[in-house]
Structure 1
Amino acid sequence: MASQHSRTSESTQQLKEDLQHLTQTIEELVNATADDSRSNIKELRDRAEKRLKDTRERLEARGERLYGEARDNVTQQADACDRYVHDNPWTSIGIGAAVGVVVGMLIGRR
C-alpha cells in the first residue's frame, strides 16, 4: 500500500512538472508573438508542439499503467472475496441475509 502511495505521489509530481513545462512554453510563445518576429515564433511553436506531444505521450502511458494497476487490484480483491465465500459459505449466507434485512427495512420506511 505504501509503494502504491509513493507511485501515486511520483505520478502527481511528474504531472505537475509536465504541466509546468507546457505552461512555460506556451507563455514563451505568447510573449514571442508580441514581438511579431516570424523566426522566433516558428522556433517557439515547434518547441511547444514537441513538449505537448511529449506530455501527451507521458500522460497516456501513465494512464494505461494506472488502469492496469487498478484492474489488477480489483481482480485481487474479487479473488479474495471469492475465496472467503468458498471458505466460509454459512457466514457469507448470514451476511447476505443481514444485508437483505437492512435494505428491506430501509425500503419499507419510505
Structure 2
Amino acid sequence: MASRKPNTDASTEQLKADLHHLTQTIEELVNATADDSRSNIKELRERAEKRLHDTRDRLEARGERLYGEARDSVREQVDACDHYVHENPWSSVGIAAAAGMVIGLLIGRR
C-alpha cells in the first residue's frame, strides 16, 4: 500500500495542474470575450475545449484506476480472510462468537 502513495500524490498533483491550466484558459476566454476579437475568441475556445476534454479523460482514467485498485485490495483481503478461516477454523469460530456477543451487547443497550 505504501508503494501506491507516491503514484497517488503524483496523479493528484497532475490533476491540480490540469485544473489550474483549465481555469486559466477559461479566464482567458472570458477576458477575450470582453475584447470581442472573433479570431482570439475562437482560438481560446478551442484551447479550452481541448483542455476540458484532456482533463475529463484524465479524471475518468484516474477514477477507473482507483476503482480497480480498490477492487483488487478488497479481493486480496477477502482471500486472506478465507485462507485464515480454512487454516484456523476453531479460532475463527471463537472470533465470530466474541464479535457476536459484543454486537449483541451493544444492540441490547439501546
1:13 aligns with 2:6: no
Q: Distance in 1 between matches of 2:16 and 2:95?
A: 45
SS at match of 1:78: helix
Q: Which residue of 2 aligns with 1:79?
A: 79
Count of aligned residue pairs for this structure pair:
110
Q: Distance in 2 between matches of 1:62 and 1:22?
A: 17
How far the C-alpha of 1:7 sits from its partner, in A, is 1.2
Q: What are the superposed Cα offsets for residues 4-32 of structure 1, whole Å, 9 maximum, x if unpaired? A: 11111111111101101100100110110
Q: Distance in 2 between matches of 1:105 and 1:8?
A: 41
How far the C-alpha of 1:62 sits from its partner, in A, is 1.3
Q: Distance in 1 between matches of 2:103 and 2:69?
A: 33
Q: Which residue of 2 aligns with 1:89?
A: 89
How large is the Cα RMSD of the aligned pairs? 0.8
Q: Distance in 1 between matches of 2:41 and 2:32?
A: 6
**TM (normalized to structure 1)?**
0.96
- After TM superposition, where is structure 1 displaced by more than 4 Å over at least 4 residues in a row? none
Q: Distance in 1 between matches of 2:66 and 2:7?
A: 10
Q: Distance in 1 between matches of 2:9 and 2:91?
A: 39
SS at match of 1:97: helix
Name structure 2 gaps, 5 residues minimum. none
**TM (normalized to structure 2)?**
0.96
Name structure 1 gaps, 5 residues minimum. none
